[in-house]
Copies of this chain bind each other. A is one copy, B any other.
Amino acid sequence: MSRPITCIGAGVIGGGWAAYFLARGFDVVAWDPAPDAEARLRRTVDAAWPALTELGLDDGADRSRLRVAASLAEACAEAAFVQESAPEDLELKRGLLADLVAATGPDTIVASSTSGFPMTDMATEAADPSRLVVGHPFNPPYLIPLVEVAGGEATAPTVVKEAAEFYRSIGKSVIEMDRELPGFVANRLQEALWREALHMVANGEATVEQIDTAITEGPGLRWPVHGPCLTFHLAGGEGGMAHMLDHFGPSLKAPWTRLGAPELTGELRDAMVRGTTDEAGARSFADLVAERDRAVIAIRRAVEGARAG
């Protein structure tokens, strides 16, 4: 791709994307209406560069290949791909995405970093909504691999596929959603935990520091290796997910969180067991335990090392 990637928005997410695209060897053109946009972008890119260098820069990766345009039209003129990371405001996104579609060529994909708006809701003012897609990253976009890709009702299916393929080609881990869901997958999960935390602080049940400690010293040490489902599978001992659901099923009725649980139907139970078994694949229970143990030890040391500087 010799045409540049266009990054709209100079905040934490927009700047993080710019840094990531630069590290992958692209030219990046950025735009943001704020007067201090260029200074903020360069500060974010500079802060990210040591981490990106540590992980390995692609051929041609160079911070000087970032250009800040004077207008949206100038930023979009030659764009191969547009990543929009404006504030989370539906009206603002609607107008901005319409402008981005108007300013780009008919083959240019315009992806939004929105944290939760379905594209169908954001695409209402665009002349050609077929090129609009959600490409939702996680902070910082230059380090966290996940990107959730989802189209709206008017998005061309090929655009969803191409966006997913583009992100994969630059090293991202992509979840391609086949339906629109506010908050997508990861924010649905993360937000449930976050809201429970807010309730606990609001009710004096735990302090901010206890909440963070509960995660960093507890389940947070398991999640990077196996995620919640495989983790739960291992907590069941050799009986795995099936044993856990049968054993802890009654706890689903207990007030362990403000979130009510779904009915644990035979169908849901089987879907969880089957999904977990599929995911484990060829790894035996003992393999998974050994993998988790190696990972938790390494993660604990990684965190200790990072905290020590």
List the interface of chain A (C-beta within 8 A of B): 11-12, 47-48, 50-51, 54-55, 87-88, 115-116, 138-140, 143-146, 148, 173, 175, 177, 179, 181-183, 185-202, 205-230, 232, 234-237, 247-248, 250-252, 254-265, 268, 271-272, 274-276, 278-279, 286, 289-303, 305-307, 309
Contact = CB atoms under 8 A, between A and B. Distances in A.
A144 B144 CA distance: 24
Contacts of A255: 182-183
B173 A213 contact: yes
A234 to B, nearest CB: 7
Contacts of A275: 201, 207-209
A116 B256 CA distance: 7
A85 to B, nearest CB: 12
B229 A199 contact: no
A188 B265 CA distance: 23
B211 A189 contact: yes
19 contacts: A116-B256, A139-B235, A140-B289, A179-B205, A185-B211, A186-B214, A186-B215, A188-B200, A188-B257, A190-B218, A190-B228, A192-B196, A201-B268, A202-B268, A202-B271, A216-B225, A220-B227, A225-B306, A298-B306
Task: Determine the main DSSP class of A at the interface with B.
Answer: helix
A187 B181 CA distance: 26
Contacts of A173: 213, 217
Contacts of A182: 254-256
Most chain B CB neighbours (cut-off 10 Å) among A115, A148, A181, A294 = A294
B237 A11 contact: yes
A299 B302 contact: yes
A211 B236 contact: no
Contacts of A271: 201-202, 208
Most chain B CB neighbours (cut-off 10 Å) among A55, A251, A309 = A251
Contacts of A251: 88, 115-116, 191
A232 B181 contact: no
Contacts of A228: 190, 193-194, 197, 211-212, 215
Given A143-B297, A212-B229, A195 B260 contact: yes
A116 B254 contact: yes
A297 B55 contact: yes
Nearest to A148: B214
A302 B298 contact: yes
